[in-house]
Amino acid sequence: MASTSLLHQSIPPFFTSSPASVSSSQLTNLSLYLNLSEKQPLCYRRLSVVVNLKKKNPWLDPFDFGDDSDMENGTEYSEGKQDEDPRPPENPDNPYGFLKFPYGYSVEIASLGSKIRGDVRRCGCVIAGGVYESLLFFPTIQLIKDRYPGVQIDVVASPRAKQTFELNKNVRWANAYDLDTYFPDTAEYTDMIGILKNRYYDMVLSTKLAGIGHAAFLFMTTARERVSYIYPNVNAAGAGLMLSETFTPKGLNLSEGGYNMYAQMDDWLGRPRNKVPRHPVPPLKVSISRKLKEVVEMKYKTAGAEKGKYIVIHGLESDSKASMQSMGDTDSLLPIQVWAGIAKGTSSNFLKTGV
């Protein structure tokens, strides 16, 4: 009997009130809604534009939750460019002695400027390649000098490109280090890390395609900002964890971009920030010192060349480590046999040299 009573139990209605209580206006609205839902596939859809912004790396600072809305920053050390030299003047006649701090560094205000405004007092540039890549990095060095007044720029380059920076007046020190070797010597590797770490760089730039190995090399310099190109393939795995800014090129050879091979890095360095407008990339300039001119003139006189009578050709076959040939481009320079044919077709005197 209990089972039959459950089977014959009535199902409760869907409406709490009687169907007669439903008004005609509600039925009209319901019919309109049903008609619209049937025609919905015929309606035009809205175009949604999604901007893929570069996400901030959470591994750099796990406690960085973004900008604080309650914090109010004034104009001090937050807007404009950095001062060229904020340290007090030296007083060698002080009877208590004078503690000489590095140039462009003051104990009281250096930390505030670097944290709030992002001042860069010392910048290290790790440049891969030969003379070709180093010469095209000259506009980037001038851009750093214009964007951060008073900055001291040092360079680490290959042995065949180190002497190129004798033509750049903005470079303080240039160290030779072979960046292209896959298995560097342990003593040279640790020595270079110690040199870069003891200079206390605020920013380190690298044009070498970085994997996790080169990223660890830059990370151990303890610079505040570590900026580098990375591989455009799977070899870049793990490199972004140790770098504060990365650039992904289109190919494995940056020199294929020609004069604009460092366009991504130049765009990041010249970006508008702290009410400072965007800095354009300056043209390529080469400054030859008087001492270097005297050395070259002495070599010309030793070889018997006179001004206005000879054309000097830098041949490929020489004992100099400097070479204008770019990485991965074996046809960037004419061979010496072609220059010999050009010399025979002219009436001028040629002097082939390896200087």
Q: How far apart are CA 40 and CA 138, in angstroms?
A: 60
Burial class (CB in 10 A: 0-12, 13-18, 19+), 180: exposed
**Total domain count, the chain:** 2
Residues in the chain: 355
Residue 103 lies inside a defined structural domain of this protein: no
Q: How far apart are CA 177 and CA 218, in angstroms?
A: 14
Residue 322 lies inside a defined structural domain of this protein: yes
Domain that holds residue 301: 290-353
pLDDT along the chain (355 residues), means of 10: 48 48 48 46 49 62 72 66 67 59 54 75 92 90 92 91 86 90 89 92 94 94 93 92 92 86 93 87 84 84 76 59 56 69 69 49
pLDDT at 180: 83
Q: How far apart are CA 288 and CA 270, in angstroms?
A: 26
124, 233: one domain: yes
127, 225: one domain: yes
Residue 174 lies inside a defined structural domain of this protein: yes
Query: To the nearest 10°, the Cα dihedral for 219, 221, 222, 226?
Result: -60
163, 260: one domain: yes
Residue 81 lies inside a defined structural domain of this protein: no
299, 253: one domain: no
pLDDT at 54: 64
Residue 142 lies inside a defined structural domain of this protein: yes
237, 349: one domain: no
Residue 128 lies inside a defined structural domain of this protein: yes
| Long-range Cβ contacts of 84-89 (<8 Å, 24+ apart) | 84/149, 84/150, 85/150, 86/110, 86/113
144, 262: one domain: yes
pLDDT at 230: 94
306, 193: one domain: no
pLDDT at 297: 84
252, 124: one domain: yes
Q: Among 215, 238, 269, which residue terminates a domain? A: 269
173, 299: one domain: no
Q: How far apart are CA 207 and CA 125, in angstroms?
A: 8
pLDDT at 44: 47
Residue 40 lies inside a defined structural domain of this protein: no
CATH number of domain containing 164: 3.40.50.2000
160, 261: one domain: yes
295, 172: one domain: no
217, 348: one domain: no
pLDDT at 332: 57
Residue 344 lies inside a defined structural domain of this protein: yes
pLDDT at 146: 92
Q: How far apart are CA 103 and CA 101, in angstroms?
A: 7
DSSP single-letter state for residue 29: H
Q: How far apart are CA 95 and CA 283, in angstroms?
A: 49
